[in-house]
Chains A and B, each alone.
Chain A
């Protein structure tokens, strides 16, 4: 009856999804074009930069066949600006990167992870969905590609603390209807906050069950009356 895992994704699963994000690498060796199930990867031709999925970039980095160019938002300057924004605006998270304009009428709009939000030319002033996972993984494997890995690490820690504290404070503004603005919250933060926030909403709903029941009954009555009214109208026509 009881599943061993809580609802939602576990942190390793989130990290796995994050490995699909494209990052920019500077190859040190030539590599032919690779045909993979998810599409073909560009041929690597040093010293030209190429976008690769994170998992391959980390693999090549570990084998010393490539260097990873960290995205601009992972620079100490951008992170400091974002952290300042977070601490100044206590009532919301820093906004996610802007979506590009819709291509045309008939194509589907792109959204993360199909947007290159972590390549070298990504927006420098916003945290993308997988910011925490990507930052941690890059810092772990490719710390020497950062100019100042220690301060980046420290800033990421600070951001995580500030944002998790905000996510916890969210419960004080909750009501049983459960509407919370969570724009800009990252994947790992959702995984961390999910069980707590849903637990609070469940508890609140349990307390106000009787009121909800009354409201439901009233709504049903009103709807039934409303239906009668519509029927009358139909007949008039």
Chain B
């Protein structure tokens, strides 16, 4: 993915995903809050994406992997159905601050063409609204405020880019009049 120093990539990897332990691990109970006990086989724990990925897909000596990953709730079928119905009304920021980055990482791990389709369509549909809001001086504050609050980090950058370039052209036109 991005650069080693990419803060967004680091924050994406820090998001929690549900994992199920396949083996009993002695002394690891503190992850669950069980200070002195063992991690029982079959217990479900929320682990950061980077850790869960490492445990689930590393080439260990055993034939079976230590944990199995489940898709996080941010890209659960319920959310995807809501996005299919109307991408504009879903608050992505509440689901995950780096929603699309998380989705892309999940897609790397699970092959899911339908999720890829839904995420692409959602991104496109919302990008069009973002562009309109960025060019509409009252949009971001008035009726569009709720939508703007629900943007994830990628979309916020997109909004900023669209807004800044429109502003640069307006500034140039205003400067022309001053000369």
Contacts and interface: CB of A to CB of B under 8 A. Distances in A.
Nearest to B134: A196
B158 A172 contact: no
A121 interface: no
Contact of B100 (A137, A207, A211): A207
Interface in B147-162: 154, 157-158, 161-162
Interface in A201-225: 203-204, 206-211, 213
A31 B172 CA distance: 32
Given A137-B176, A140-B177, A210-B104, A171 B124 contact: yes
Nearest to A173: B124
Nearest to B172: A11
Interface in B123-179: 123-125, 127-128, 131-132, 134-135, 154, 157-158, 161-162, 164-166, 168-169, 171-173, 175-177, 179
Contacts of B166: 192
Interface residues of A, number: 34
Contact of B103 (A164, A199, A207): A207
B13 to A, nearest CB: 14
A176 B123 CA distance: 11
B101 to A, nearest CB: 7
Interface in A7-27: 10-12, 15
Interface string A117-128: 000000000000
A208 B116 contact: yes
A6 B107 contact: no
Contact of A203 (B108, B154, B164, B173): B154
A67 B17 CA distance: 70
A106 to B, nearest CB: 40
Interface string B99-120: 0110110011001010010011
A175 B120 contact: yes
B104 A209 contact: yes
B135 A168 contact: yes
Contact of B172 (A15, A169, A193): A15
B124 A200 contact: yes
A171 B162 CA distance: 13
Nearest to A175: B120
A61 to B, nearest CB: 12
27 contacts: A6-B164, A10-B168, A11-B169, A12-B175, A136-B173, A136-B176, A164-B135, A168-B131, A171-B131, A172-B128, A174-B124, A191-B168, A191-B169, A193-B165, A195-B165, A196-B134, A196-B158, A196-B161, A199-B157, A199-B162, A204-B123, A206-B100, A207-B104, A207-B116, A208-B116, A209-B1, A213-B108
Interface of A: 6, 10-12, 15, 136-137, 140, 164, 168-169, 171-172, 174-176, 188, 191-196, 199-200, 203-204, 206-211, 213
10 nearest A-B pairs in the assembled complex, by CB-CB distance: A11-B172, A195-B161, A168-B131, A196-B162, A210-B108, A199-B158, A200-B127, A210-B107, A171-B127, A207-B119
